[in-house]
Structure formats: C-alpha cells, structure tokens
Amino acid sequence: MSGLAGFLDAARRSLGAEQVLDAPALLDALSLPQARPAALLRPGSVEEIALAVKLANEHRVPLLPCGGWTAMHYGDPAPAGAVALSLQRLDRLVEHSPADMVATAQAGLAFGAFQDRLHEHGQWLPFEAPATATLGGLLATDRSGPRRLGYGTLRDQVLGLTVVNGDGVVRKCGGKVVKNVTGYDLAKLYIGSLGTLGVIVEATFKLRPRPETSSVQELEHDDFAAGFKLVRELVQRLPFVAAVAGFPGKPFVAQLGIDASPPDHARLLRELEAACPSGGARLRETGATHLDAEEFPPRPRRLRAVTLTDGRTVEPALAARLTWPAFAGDFPDQIAALDQLAASHGFGLMMGFFEFPSRASAELFGSLEGGEGAPAPDLDGMVKALRKAGLPVTVTWTAAEQTLSASAFGPPQPAWELMRGIKRALDPRAVLNPGRFVEGI
Ligand SMILES: Cc1cc2nc3c(=O)[nH]c(=O)nc-3n(C[C@H](O)[C@H](O)[C@H](O)COP(=O)(O)OP(=O)(O)OC[C@H]3O[C@@H](n4cnc5c(N)ncnc54)[C@H](O)[C@@H]3O)c2cc1C
C-alpha cells in the first residue's frame, strides 16, 4: 500500500488508531481553501512527531503542522491529500525559572495558558495574540501586533528551539540561557518559516517583568494628514509601546499603548496631553490595557453598499486582507489613490497601520454574494495592479470566493533561490507544508 492510504495505515499502527482522525465532520470543520487536510494526526511526543515525519517521507505524503488552527489561512494553498499534524498534545510548560526570567515550553502549549503561568510570577511575553494560538504557531507565523513598537517581535524573545526537520531528525538550536549562541543563530531560521523547514516542538523564551500599569489612549484628529504627522512624531519621541491608526472615516484615529510604572505612566500622559494642540486633536482613555488589532481601527463607516438590478442592497463582506511594509512619502495622497484603486476593482477599503507607522494593512470589502447587476469584486486584478505599482503586498487572508493567480507572497525575490537551497537541505523531500510559502517552497 502506498501514498495516503499506506501512510494512514502505518500511522495508525505507530501512533494508535485513536490518534489518526479522519471523520468527515471534523475535516469539514478544519477545511480552509489554503489548508484542506485529508486526515488529522495527534502525536503525543517528540519521538512520535519524528516518526510521523519519517513515515511521510516514506509514503510521500505532505504534512501540515498545526497548533490552534487560528492562522492556517496564511500562505498559499496546501496540496491535495495533505495530512494535518497537530501539536496540541505537546502542551507542557517544561521549565520556568523566574529568577533567570527564562521559560521553556512545548510548542503545542496555548499562548493564553503560557501567559497565565508566567503572570503567577509577575512575568510575561510582551505580545498580543489569540489565547488559543499555540507557541509553535506563533513562532512559525512570526506575526506581531501593536506591542512590536515597544518590545520587538517574538523572534527577539527566543533563546532556543527544538525542531523535527523535514527529514525526521530532531535538532536543537540555541540554548536556555540569555547569552548562548556561538556560530549561526539557526533558531531564527525557523521563526517565520511557516512550518516549511521543521516542526517546532519546544521553545525557550526570555521573559519580561509584567508592567504595573498598562493603558490605551485614543487620539482623534479632524485632519487626516495632521493627525498622521502628529502620531508619527509622538511615537518617535515618547516611549509608547504600541500604536495603530486607521482609515477611512474622518477624523483620523489612532491608539497609543503605554506600559509603565505608575509615576512614569502619569508623566507620559501629561506629555501626551501637552502635545495635542487645542482644537483639532482629541484624547481619551479607552479603558483597555492592550490594543486589539481585530477591534481597532473601527470598521469602516462608509463601505459601499451595493444595489443590485432587482433593487436589493447587498451588505459588503470582508473579501481579503493585504499587508505590506508601510510606504514612505505622502501617506494621505497614497491612501486616496489606494481607495480609488479599490473602488475600481469593486471593493470598499479599510486601512490600518499596525505597529504604526511601519506596517500597513488593508481590508477589502465587496459584495461576495454576487447576483444580477452586482459588480464582481476582482481581487486578482487589484493585487496585480498594486504589485505593478510597486507595492509589495502579501495577501494574508482571502474569502473562499476570491482566488489569486499569483502567490500570496508576490513575485520572486533574489533571496528566494537561497531559501530554496535551505528548504532542500532541511526538508529534502518537501513533506512539510509544500507549496505554501514563497514561490512554492
Ligand atoms: C483574531 C486574531 C488576532 C491576531 N492578532 C495577533 C497579534 O496581535 N499579534 C500577533 O503576533 N499575531 C496575531 N495573530 C496571529 C497569530 O500570530 C496566529 O494566529 C498564531 O501565530 C497561530 O497559532 P496557531 O497555533 O493557531 O497556528 P496554526 O493556525 O495552527 O498554524 C499557523 C501556521 O503555523 C504552522 N505551524 C503551526 N504550528 C507549528 C509548529 N509547531 N511547527 C511548525 N509550524 C507550525 C502551520 O503549518 C501554519 O502554517 C492573530 C490571529 C488572529 C486569528
């Protein structure tokens, strides 16, 4: 028996039949256009993960490592017949040394549970993410939220990793103390590689003391350009730990996060108030302790409702999310051009600047239901036009109705040849997430 059936048969014998799930209802619930598994494997140890990867090599079956399944929509589509490899049974906090401010955990541990354990000792990872996302998923996607402004990325908090590479070999990189790397810091290679080089099974993080006071201030400005300039100047001058800004919808609106001791918090607030000119800018305390990129910027107040020829009005639905390193230059003009481009491709646009002002993202809304007389939103055309205009957009999410003819990551870059070489060395038979990362890696 070869291929998928042979693989599942061997996996049942090695891991136990109860850890190889293929009930249609479960697989339907997991299915995404980008990651549609043929079965779900639940190994219970590093050795079992290594065994599963070796079996995948033997039977030439692609594997989709997965944790909390909150970001399986990132990346290009998975090949047919791929099997999801769940890390959720590897969910132990292996070691926490509060005095050294270092913790080691298995990759399937949920982010929320990990933070709760650290909070007991007044420590944390200064990072926003869904509580159900796993540490392995966070490292594989290496996304970051607004606190990146003050603390850097998760990559910056990692001391060491244990991975099972695509050849089934378990490798350790880095270590468990703050000063530990001699030679290449290979742990960094896996962070952000979207599970294409190795299955991350354990990670060691350096921790931070949890701040005594955290707050979020919202700043509105009647003039978009003036508001943008003011907030950019503020985040360069004062130690805010987080900032996001939104468009469209006037006035300009931004949120600024402060983590500090009570006296420093009060001082920063006074400086912030002093920097807001009377008239034009308004400041208010939100009552939140951290910025939530899903809730802010507020969703557009002026999305284009679409009227069909039969008179029905269709509410626009979220069609895609795009992100790119924020462009320099005249932001308001460029945003107006983007808005027009979106409209000409059948979309309403909502812009956000997470980690303000260094990363921009756009949400595109369109009438996905279709219907006679409804303009058909054209994501492929929009993405092509943006890339042609020199904006290096990554498509981080698409509704099932929208397809792309090119990679979500854009056209090839010179460094991708080197990346292909690394992939060949660490996953020679391309069993880990094949085709999902840049240029088919
Ligand atoms: C509502 C929402 C808000 C978010 N906000 C933030 C935010 O503010 N800041 C931020 O940083 N991120 C944010 N994220 C993204 C977040 O980082 C991801 O959701 C998370 O990293 C994915 O973890 P997961 O366990 O769910 O991974 P999954 O969705 O299971 O997997 C995601 C990817 O990682 C790979 N993968 C998973 N586990 C492993 C592993 N052990 N080894 C190798 N590859 C693996 C998978 O193959 C897949 O490609 C947000 C996501 C959501 C849904």
Ligand 1 atom nearest to 64, measured from its CA = 47
The protein residue with its alpha carbon nearest to ligand 1, atom 5, reads: 129
Highest mean pLDDT: which of 200-209, 240-249, 317-326, 351-360? 200-209
- What pTM was computed for the model? 0.91
The protein residue with its alpha carbon nearest to ligand 1, atom 22, reads: 137
If you average pLDDT over residues 331-342, what whole number do you get? 79
168: its two tokens: 């089934």
Tens of pLDDT, residue by residue over 33-66, are 778 899 999 999 999 999 999 999 999 999 999 9
Q: What is the rounded (10 degree) CA torsion for 66, 70, 76, 82?
A: 30
Tens of pLDDT, residue by residue over 149-192, are 889 899 999 999 999 999 999 999 988 777 666 778 899 999 99
Write down all domains in the chain, each with its CATH number in brackets.
Answer: 3-88+426-440 (3.30.43.10), 93-209 (3.30.465.10), 213-285 (3.30.70.1150), 306-398 (3.30.70)
Q: How far is the CA of 135 from the centre of ligand 1 (A)?
A: 8
> CB neighbours of 99 closer than 8 A, spacing ≥ 6?
none
Q: How far is the CA of 205 from the centre of ligand 1 (A)?
A: 17
* In the block, residue with structure tokens 């969910």: 91
The protein residue with its alpha carbon nearest to ligand 1, atom 6, reads: 129
Ligand 1 atom nearest to 144, measured from its CA = 11
Kindly state if the Cβ of 140 falls inside 6 Å of ligand 1: yes
The protein residue with its alpha carbon nearest to ligand 1, atom 44, reads: 195
Radius of gyration over alpha carbons of the chain, in Å?
23
Q: What is the pLDDT of residue 416?
A: 87
Residue 308 has pLDDT above 60, yes or no: no
375: its two tokens: 């303009």
Q: How far is the CA of 75 from the centre of ligand 1 (A)?
A: 12
Kindly state if the Cβ of 136 falls inside 6 Å of ligand 1: yes
Q: What is the pLDDT of residue 301?
A: 41
Q: Give the residue, out of 45, 46, 70, with the most ligand 1 atoms within 8 A of its beta carbon, to mutate for a pocket test.
A: 70
Kindly state if the Cβ of 68 falls inside 6 Å of ligand 1: yes
Helical packing angle, 331-344 and 224-237, nearest 10°: 130
